[in-house]
Every structure is written in C-alpha cells, then in structure tokens.
Chains A and B, each alone.
Chain A
Amino acid sequence: MTMNVNPDLSFIKFLKSAGGDTLKKCYQCATCSVVCPLSSDKKPFPRKEMVWAQWGLKDKLIGDPDILLCHQCGDCTAYCPRGAKPGDVLGAIRAYIYTYYGFPQGLAKLASNGKNLPLLIGIPAAVILIMWLISGGMHLPTEEVFTKYGFSQFFGHWDFRWLSKNVFFIDIIFLPAAALALFSAYKGASAMWQKMNEGLNSDSNFRPSCNQFVLDYLWPAIKETVLHKRFNECGVNIDRVKGHLPLLLAFIGLFIVTTYGFIRKDLLGVFIPALHGVIPQYDPFKLLANVSAIALIIGIGILWANRANMEEKKGIVPTFYDWFLIGEIMAVGVTGLGAELLRLADFMTVAYVVYYAHLVSVLMLFLYMPYTKFAHLVYRTVAMAFEKYRESGFVNKGA
C-alpha cells in the first residue's frame, strides 16, 4: 500500500513543546527497540513511532496502542546513543492523544497548555465560590456545629431530611463535572478503540460483546494495573513504582471511603440521623481514609522527587503535562489532610479556607481528568484491554 505523505508541522511543534524536544535526533539505529519489552520482530517499538513522529505522521500515532502500553520505564531513553529520548517523545505523543480525543475540544485544548493555568484554577475556584455564596453557607458555624458536623454543613443546612443542603450543593457541582469527565473519557476511549482497530488491518468482523469486553479484556487489564506488573518490569525508572503504587492504592482507598461516606450519610443517614456528622476516628473506614490520604501524599511526593531528580540529572525537560498532574494530586492530598488536621486542631477559619481549596482541587481533578496526564488512567487501561483483544483468537492477524 502506498501512503501519501504530508507531514504535519504543527504536530511536530506540539510534541517538541510537550517534552518531545529531542524527537528529531533519532537516526533509526533501533537500540530502543532492542531494550524495549514491548517491541517485537515485526514491530520495532518505539523505533517506528520515532520516525512517524519525526515525519509528523500523527494519524499513525493516535491509533497506536503501543504508545499507551508504554509505561515510560525509561530504558530506551537511557540507552539511546543520540539523546533522542524516545521515552519522553512517547510521553509527548500521549499528551497529544489525550488532547486529540478530548471532548469538548475547547476544554481539552485549554487543559493542555500551561499558559492557561490561571483559567484552569480560576474556573473551578469561581464555580465553588459562587455556589458557596448562593448557598448562603459562607459563614463560620458555631463551635458546637463545627465539632459535630465538621465540614458537612459547609454549604449550610436545611431541614429537608431526604437530601441535605451540603450534599445538594456538592452534587450539583461534582455530578455534572464527573458526568462530563466520564462521558468525555468514554467518547475518547471508544474513538481510540476504533482507530486502533482500523490499525489492525483485520478482515474479521468480530466485535466483542460487552460482557466479553469486561471479563476477558478490561478486568485482566485492571488486575494487571493494580498489581503493577508492567511497572515492575521497568529498568531505569523502577523507582517510580515506589511512588505510583501507594498513589494508586490511595486512590482506590479514597474511592472506597467516599463510597462508604455516601452510603453512610446520604442513604442510611436519611433513616438514622445519628449517622450524619463526622465519622469517628475509630471507624475502620476513617482509618482507611487517613492511611490513604497519607499514602497519597507520600506517593505523589516520591513521584515529585523522582521527576525533579530526573530533570536535574538526566536533562529531562520539565513540562506542564507532567507537573500539572503532580501539582493537582499534591494539592488534593495536602488540602484534604490539612483540612482534617486543622479541624481536629480547631483552627476553624483556616480549616474552612483549606477545605474550600480542597474542593477546588478535587473539582479540577474531575474536570480535567480526560485531557491531562490523569487520562492515562482511562486510555492506558483501554489500551491494555485492546492488547488482550488484539492477542485474542478472534482477531485475524497476518492480514
């Protein structure tokens, strides 16, 4: 098949600005493919991705599952004799992929550029501030209320028992944000799946059923992720496991705690009013919450240190793409744990401000998830599921 070549110069420019500044240095020696565990005989990875990137062939790259399967172990970058840093170029391509599949495009583009940072923080900050104003809860509660209910009357209180005022406001802020994020992630992931499937050149009409997709492809991928199997194969960057694993587990822990909080307060609490208010410290779920919060801060702290170290010692270029996510998560962790500690220490005023900041940072995490580096949580998982699909007997290879 003959390809009509038309390199996209703006794509090359984007990659160079997003951490792939070295991509043009590659001279196709294939050292990277020799060290990369993802590379196979017929598909020299990431060598072919490097030449595609050099030639600005973005269409080939956005449907390439291998790019997302790469965990940036850093071996290719370490061994590259030309300093082309393939690992970092792949990171830049991933950044491009998240923006490319992002919906709506305006938001995706906004979230991909460091210049927009004031807006990226300003919008959620303003939304929550306005909601806070509207709710009429924007005043300090009495000592008694604060001690009993903590932040759960942040947005005020009404007597409608089926839905508390606080939950109402939290819901109208976070549910649409989460819905948008989920929808965008779904849309992006399915567009990517389709693109990847085109790339298989398979003549089979097979499409996995939903059940099959989840059981055979998605679930094993998630299991693998949780166990950090691939991360553990990393050579040069193995230290990242020490940060990423606690971080991932912390997110799972916090997800469980949030779900527990929702069931306890918003479902059971309707019937048993005593369940409202602060969860006591002896509650095992509270314990899990605290441990997770600490794990989150430690995990992201380690990743922070790793990256700073890499930039200092290996000349990796700092990018907005990497640091935005690190900053975001750190903000969530520090403001969350900080608000709790301040509450326990009874610094009410400061605690309220920090809690506000916590809400802002969590909203940011939700809102920008599908477009920033956080999107790897969706796209990489989908790519890993796709890999299982690709290797399944249903796909006609060799076509």
Chain B
Amino acid sequence: MDKKYGAFICTGCGIGDTLDIGALSGVVSGEMKMSCKTHEFLCGAEGRALIEKDINEEGVNSVVIGACSPRVMQDEFNFGGDKISVRANLREQVVWAKAEDAKADFVLELASDNMRMACAQIKKTELPEPYQLETVNKKILVVGGGVAGLTAAVEAAQTGYDVTIVEKSDALGGFAKQWRKQLPSRAPWTDLETPVVGSLLKSVEASDKITVKTGTEVARIAGAPGAFEVTFKPAGTSGEWDAPAKVGVDEQDKIDKGLMEDPNKEFRKYTDKNSDAEGFGSVILATGWNPADVSEYAHLGYGQFKNVVTNVEFEQLAAKGKIARPSDGKPVESVAFVQSPGGAEHDKDFPYCNSVTSLVALKQARYVREDNANAKAYILYQHMRTPGNMELFYKAAQNDDGVFLTKANVMQVTEESDGSLSVAVENTLLNENMNINVDMVVLAAGMVPTTKDAPIINLAYRQGPAFLDLDIFDGHADSHFICFPYETRRTGIYACGGVRKSMTVEETMDDATGAALKAIQCLESVDRGVAVHPRSGDKSYPEFFFQRCTQCKRCTEECPFGALDDDEKGTPLPNPTRCRRCGTCMGACPERIIGFKNYNVDMIGSMVKAIEVPDDDEEKLRILALVCENDAYPALDMAGMRRLGLNNLVRVIPVRCLGSVNMVWIKDAMSAGMDGAILLGCKYGDDYQCHFVKGSEIANKRMDNIGETLKSLGLETARVATRQIAISDYDKVPEIINEFVESIVAMGPNPFKGF
C-alpha cells in the first residue's frame, strides 16, 4: 500500500490550554515531514469531517491522531479497514498527568516525543491481512460423555454445529447417572430434583447433529484450531498414533548421541500425518473427575469398617433404594457426614472438595431423612460452603428436625460390636466433646480432575501432549482462572465441568454451555482469520523471515501456547490459528525475524529512535518505559485521569505483552543515549495476571540477561528494571516510576550520551 500520511492534533480537553500547539505541530510538519492540522474537537462531527476531507480529497490513508489515549474514542478515529490510524496520547498521559510543578518546556518535550513516536510508528505500520485456512473444519469434538460433555454437545448442536462425543466407557452419562437426586436448580431452591442426565441423553439421541463414539479414546490431537486431526482408538489400548511425550532440545541431543532412550520410539512423530484421522475445528474437554482416595485418613476408618463409605459410594447406595448398612443390610437410622479429615490438626476440608462436598452432604442428609422419618443425619463440618442460592437449600436442610449440624474436629471413628460406628468429635458448637453413635459414616471425598495425573488431551504438539503448569491449579485443566475461565493454554481447546474445577451438576451445565460458546467463537474466528482470544478479532499474526532463522528454537520453546512446531530441519513451523498474537516469539527471536504487519521489532525500534535525547542538559534525562497495554498502560491512563501526575522524563511505548519486548529495543534506547529503561507488566508467578500467562515472567528473565550485557558495556545493570503493575495500582504507579527515575538521576546521565 502506498501510504499518504496526515497528522491531526486535537486541542480540546485541555490539550490546547497546556501545550504550545504551534510548536507541537511544527515538530510534526518539520522534523517528521507530515502535514499537520489542528482542531479543537477532533472526535466530534466537525473534527472527523476535517480528517475525512483529507482522506477523500488528498488521498490520505494513514492518519496520526494526537489526542486522547488510544484506549478511548476508537470508533471515532476508525476510518475503515483500509486506513491506518495511529494514536499519540497527549491527553491522559501528558496534559492531564502533568505534575503541579511541571515545567512547561518539559511537558512540551514529552508531547513532542509522543508525536514523533506516533509518526515513526505509522511509517512502519502496514495493514494486516487475516490468516485464513483454505478450508475450516467446523465440527466440534467433545471429549467425555458426562453431564459436562452432554450439555456442551447439546448446546453446540442446537446452535447448528456438528458435534462428536467421544466417551471412554461403554455408555454415556458419566457419574451423574449414578445419582439418586440432584441439587435444586430453580426457586425456591429447597427441593431435590430428578437428575438431568436422563433428559440430556434423550436430547443427544434425538439430535441428528451429534455423533457418539463410546468405548473410544483420543489417541492424539494434531493440527490446529479449524484443522485439528484427531486419531481415535479403542479405550484402554495403545498404538503408534498415541501422542508422543515432549522431547526438549537437550533431550533430543542426548537421544541423537545414544545417551538416552527415545521415549517415543514406539510412536509416530508428532508432525506425522495420519490419513485415518478425523477432522475437527475445536475441542471441548469434559473428561471430568475421579473420586479422591480417602484411605490415607486411618482415623476415619475407611477401608477398615464396611460402614464407612465415601460420598460417591453413599450416592450409589441411595440410588439403589432405601439406604441399608453395607455390613448387614440393616435400614439406616443414623448417618454422620464427615466433611474434614484434619481432626485437631487442621481445619481443611478433604482435598478437591470446593463447595461441592458441603452441598452433597446436605443432599444426602435429605436422603437419610426421606427414607426414614425417625432417622438422624449429623453433618460434622469445618466449613459449610453453600454459594449463591444454595444458601436456601442449606437453610431448608438445617430446618429439618433430624438434621444436626455442627462445626467439629472429627477425631476418631470406631466400630462397636453391633456393627454401628462411634464418631468421636471435639471442639463443637455445643462446647463439648461428643460421641455420636451412627449406622454409617460418609466421608466427603473430593473430585480429582482427570488431568491431574495424565495428559488426557493427548496433543501432538512440539511442547508435548499435556497442558502446561497445571500444578498451580492442583491439576485442573485451567489457565487463567481470574479472567478467562474456559481458556486452556491451548487455543481451540476449552475445558468445562469437573476437569476444570470441582463443581456440582448445576454449575457444570452452566460451565459446559460457556465452553460450547467458546468453541464456537473459536471456529468463527478461525474462519475469519482473526485471533480468538484475548485479542479477539485481531487480524495480525506473526510472520517469519525464515531465510535468516538459526533454528535456535527460542520461539518454539517460549511460546506460551505451543503455537510453533518444528519442521524436519528444526525450523519453526507456525500454526497461526493456535496463536494468540502476544508476540512472545517476536520478543524471543535473537535474529529479529519475527514480526506482525502492525507490530514489529523495527517499528518499536524506530519509535525508540524517534525520541529526542538532549545531550547537553543534565536535567533532561530520558527514560524509556515499555508498558503492557493490558494492565499497566490503562493504569497510567487512570493515573492521568485522576491527575496524579506522571514523571515527564519518561517516554511510554505500549506493548502487546512484556513477552513481546525484544531486548534490542533496550539496546536501541541505551545507544541512543537514553538513561534508563523500565518494563511495566503484569504480576507473574502462581497468581499471575498476565493475559498471555508467561509474558511478564519471560520478560523478567530476559532482563536479567540484558543486565549482563549492559555490565559488559560498562553501564549499571540498575539502569534497566521491570515492575509488576496491576490495573488497580493506578494510584501507586506514578510513585513507582518516580522512584525508578530518581535512582537513574542518582546514577547520573548515560555516559554514552551524545556518541
């Protein structure tokens, strides 16, 4: 595209009152050689007309807007898909954010640099063209045929998509088929309901959009969203098409040298194509959970006494009819529900219980009372978790004459000669230690996700068959609980139900519906050639200039989403539909051969170089801030909106993710004579807030390395730093920046300034 530029500066919202607009537009038209017009209300009809006039009459197709933050007025400054529009933030981060004592020339310099950077940016920006597969497969694969899988399948089929359910066992229905009743799903939230699984099975049978494969497992899932190639196998078997284990660069080296056995020698390579594989567009993972093993809690007698059972076993007993004691078939007159195994040591519930086991105990207490009007149900808890409307169910259960609730340390379960059990409890609400004699004890075993001990999803990916880092979610197939419940670390694969979180049937149905919608969103986004999530609708994607690739594999290793495979030579093999457009590969590449049409190494580098660095004034230091646009950049905007003041020695460049920060930009800044650089990104670690999971963590590691480089140049490593900023830290961010600037001031100017 032949670009014809035009710059426009808005003088409204206080911009014109603070800045010398003449001087500012002089910078654009002089230094940056772009026509520059000003208007007092650029986002209004008249202002837009001014820009559109230039577009229509002068043929301008690339517009620089010097006005408010790029986060606002996006529709007002969008001139169509065939026009490029770049924003310079003069409002939130310049005129609104100036400190009380700011010097006018400092503020103007900041505004001028923002205009220079925007002009440099637009010169390096091209219009993105969406990546489109030749054919997009729009079938959805649902792995697992329990309530989660059935609901997801029915929901997706009702929306018009073809669905295949693959179920390991011989029949659909999962655990929920074994329940007597399920928890209330509607007002008044007090009555148990017939399990929904029966009607779900009927809907599945009735649907001509749903194919069912029982007794079948997924051997491997190859390919990418819109073009997954799934190999099935009979349940419990193994074969050459099973997903191979991950083999890293070092391991491959050892295997090649004969120092290590190839773990995958019986399996086909992950890049091999199976002509028998079936095509799918996206996958819903609904493989559920397994009942937790409770035999480790010896004092509770599970495994020793027949009448001590888990909640799942009790449910199965209850589903058969009137509840009878396993030891002798005597009708049950009293049951103790033990919610926490810790005795006097701790008050934790059984692992993997979430709020489910509280609700199940209340439900099963109801069975005990239904079966026998004189029966007694004791619920011995440390926590009673009854979220939302379930509080009403709890209240109804509590109101039953024969349901007895107390917080308690359950110390010991012993068996009496008549087969009954004695439960010793301490620290109760009754302020007394008690012995409770019961016919049965039910332990509130948790729900262990199927992904805890096995890959389950069996991906044929360079990064291995399993989801990564599930240990921080206790093995649940989850990736970013706070913001994106259904997303896994693998685009196009959406988890729901017990595999994602311990949840009840009622929650599972909501969850599965959400996952079905995500799977559909994925198909439709792939069809349009745009990113699914979290940059939904982004047309850009990373492009590689492979001639210069050194096969260092940093990009394939670092991609948080496993988007890159290897070809035979070890060159990265991009799968753009797996990609989330964070740019972590671009940040990783030492050869700088990865970039997006509208976001690349050269572009940011040019922006850095566009900053004017005075080399004769020790007061006018220049600090580069590369700021994550998801959290930290809005925090800066918010600081401006609240007039908290931002240091005007700092030059801010927003980045898609700190993971996309290529260290060459830091070198560019330092060799341009800038005095320091700070990276502001999301929190990382177990409670990470990074939209791209790993970006901020990776950036932090890279910064450690660049510190070494700086040292070898004779620069202080403390000239570069990273800080973790949450969006809610807007009140702290000015101070965080000030502290860093002061430390640079204390170090003095960059000694290479002016060279």
Q: Is the CB of A24 within 8 A of B401?
A: yes
CA distance A7 to B436 in the complex (A): 10
Is B395 a contact of A51 with CB atoms below 8 Å? Answer: no
B399 on interface, CB distance cutoff 8 Å: yes
Indicate if the CB atoms of B430 and A55 lie closer than 8 Å. yes
Contact A24 B430 (CB under 8 A): no
Answer whether residue A12 sits at the interface, using C-beta atoms and an 8 A cutoff.
yes
Q: In the complex, are the beta carbons of A48 and B431 less than 8 A apart?
A: yes
Q: How far is the CA of A52 from the CA of B431 in the complex (A)?
A: 10
**Smallest distance from the beta carbon of B393 to chain A beta carbons, Å?**
14
Complex partner residue of B435 from A3, A9, A12, A57, CB under 8 angstroms: A3
Are the C-beta atoms of A2 and B434 separated by less than 8 Å?
yes
User: Which B residues touch A48, using CB under 8 A?
Assistant: 430-431
Known: A2-B424, A9-B376. Contact between A24 and B399, CB under 8 A?
Answer: yes
Cβ contacts under 8 Å, B431 to chain A? 48
Could you tell me the distance between the alpha carbons of A27 and B379 in the complex, rounded to whole angstroms? 14
In the complex, which residues of chain B have a beta carbon less than 8 angstroms from the beta carbon of A16? Answer: 401
Contacts of A54 in B (CB 8 A): 404
Q: Does B630 contact A (CB under 8 A)?
A: no
* Segment 421-452 of B: residues with Cβ below 8 Å from A: 424, 429-437
Whether B400 pairs with A6 at a CB distance below 8 angstroms is no
B398 within 8 A of A: yes
Separation in Å of the A7 CB from the closest CB of chain B?
A: 6
CA of A342 to CA of B330, assembled, Å: 70
- Provide the A1-22 mask, 1 if CB < 8 A to any CB of B, else 0: 1111111010011001000000
Within B363-410, which residues are at the interface with A (CB < 8 Å)? 374, 376, 395, 398-404, 406
Whole-angstrom CA separation of A48 from B406 in the bound complex: 12
Q: How far is the CA of A24 from the CA of B394 in the complex (A)?
A: 12
Interface string of B546-587 (1 = CB under 8 A from A): 000000000000000000000000000000000000000000
Prevailing SS type, chain A contact patch? mixed
Interface residues of A in 12-41 (CB under 8 A from B): 12-13, 16, 24-25, 27-28
Please, which residues of chain A bring their CB within 8 A of the CB of B399? Answer: 24-25
Give A16 to B400 CA distance when docked, in angstroms. Answer: 11
State how many angstroms separate the Cβ of A96 from the closest Cβ of chain B: 15
Are the CB atoms of B395 and A55 closer together than 8 Å?
A: no
Instruction: Report Cα–Cα, A57/B404, bound state, in Å.
Output: 11
| Chain B: interface residue total (CB-CB under 8 A) | 21
**Are A7 and B376 interface neighbours, CB within 8 A?**
yes
A15 to chain B, nearest CB (A): 10
Which of these, A5, A27, A56, contacts B434 with CB under 8 Å? Answer: A5
User: Taking the nearest CB of chain B, how far is it from the CB of A43, in angstroms?
Assistant: 10
Query: Complex Cα distance A5/B405, Å?
Result: 13
Taking the closest CB of chain B, its distance from the CB of A232, in whole angstroms, is: 32
A2 x B435 contact (CB < 8 A): yes
Q: How far does the alpha carbon of A211 sit from the alpha carbon of B235 in the complex, in Å?
A: 89
The reply to whether A6 and B437 form a contact with Cβ atoms under 8 Å apart is: yes
Q: Which residues of B sit under 8 angstroms from A24, Cβ to Cβ?
A: 398-401, 403
Contact of B430 among A6, A9, A27, A52 (CB under 8 A): A52
Shortest C-beta distance, A318 to chain B (Å), equals 20
Contacts of A6 in B (CB 8 A): 437
Residues of B within 8 A of A9 (CB): 374, 376, 401-402
Chain A residues with CB below 8 A from B436, complex form: 5
Residues of A within 8 A of B434 (CB): 2-5
* B401 A5 Cβ-Cβ under 8 A: no
- Distance of A52 Cα from B404 Cα, bound (Å): 10
Measured CB to CB, the closest approach of chain B to A307, in angstroms, equals 25
CB nearest to A21 among chain B residues: B399
Closest to B435 in A: A4
* Distance A24 CA – B433 CA, assembled complex (angstroms): 21
Q: Are A3 and B432 in contact (CB under 8 A)?
A: yes
Closest to A2 in B: B433
Inter-chain contacts of A3 with B (CB < 8 A): 430, 432-435
Q: Which of A9, A25, A55, A56 counts the most chain B CB atoms within 10 A?
A: A55
A240 to B402, CA, bound (A): 35
In the bound assembly, the distance between CA atoms of A24 and B400 in angstroms comes to: 7
Known contacts A5-B434, A5-B435, A7-B376; is-contact A25 B395 (Cβ 8 Å): yes
Chain B residue nearest to A13 in the complex (CB): B401
CB distance from B501 to the nearest CB of A (A): 27
- Min CB–CB distance B725 → chain A (angstroms): 40
Of B401, B404, B433, B435, most A-chain CB atoms within 10 Å:
B401
Q: Which residue of B lies closest to A26 (CB)?
A: B398
CB contacts under 8 Å to B, within A54-77, are 54-57
* Chain A: minimal CB distance from B275 (Å): 64
Query: What B residues does A7 contact at CB under 8 A?
Result: 376, 402, 404
Closest to B376 in A: A7
- The answer for the CA separation of A5 and B435 in the assembled complex, in Å, is 6
B395 touches A1 (CB 8 A): no
**Residue interface bits A298-325, CB-to-B below 8 A is 1, else 0:** 0000000000000000000000000000
8 Å CB contacts to A: which residues of B298-349?
none
- A2-B424, A12-B401, A25-B399 are known contacts. Are A51 and B429 too (CB-CB below 8 A)? yes
Which residue of chain B is the closest to A11 with respect to CB atoms?
B401
Q: How far is A1 from B435 in the complex, measured between Cα atoms in Å?
A: 10
Find chain A residues with CB under 8 A from B433 CB: 1-3
With both chains docked as a complex, state the minimum distance between the C-beta of B332 and any C-beta of chain A, in angstroms.
15
Contacts of A4 in B (CB 8 A): 434-435, 437
In the assembled complex, which residues on chain A have CB atoms less than 8 Å from the CB atom of B374?
Answer: 9
Closest to B403 in A: A24
Rounded to whole angstroms, the CA-CA distance of A226 and B401 in the bound complex is: 39
Chain B residues with CB under 8 Å of A27's CB are 398
Q: When the two chains form their complex, are residues A1 and B404 in contact, meaning their CB atoms are under 8 A apart?
A: no
Q: How far is the CB of A281 from chain B (nearest CB, A)?
A: 58
Residues from chain A with Cβ under 8 Å of B429 in the complex: 28, 51
Q: Are A1 and B432 in contact (CB under 8 A)?
A: yes
Could you say which residues of chain A place their CB within 8 Å of the CB of B402? 7, 9
Chain B residues with Cβ below 8 Å from A51 are 406, 429-430
Of the A-B pairs whose beta carbons lie under 8 Å apart in the complex, a sample of 14, sorted by A's number, is A2-B433, A2-B434, A2-B435, A3-B430, A4-B435, A5-B434, A9-B402, A12-B401, A24-B400, A25-B398, A27-B398, A28-B429, A48-B431, A51-B406
Residues of A within 8 A of B (CB): 1-7, 9, 12-13, 16, 24-25, 27-28, 48, 51-52, 54-57
Beyond known contacts A9-B376, A28-B429, A56-B401: 6 more, CB 8 A cutoff: A1-B433, A7-B376, A7-B404, A24-B398, A25-B399, A52-B430
The 4 closest A-B pairs by CB, nearest first: A2-B433, A24-B399, A12-B401, A5-B434
Query: Which residues in B have some Cβ–Cβ distance to A below 8 Å?
Result: 374, 376, 395, 398-404, 406, 424, 429-437
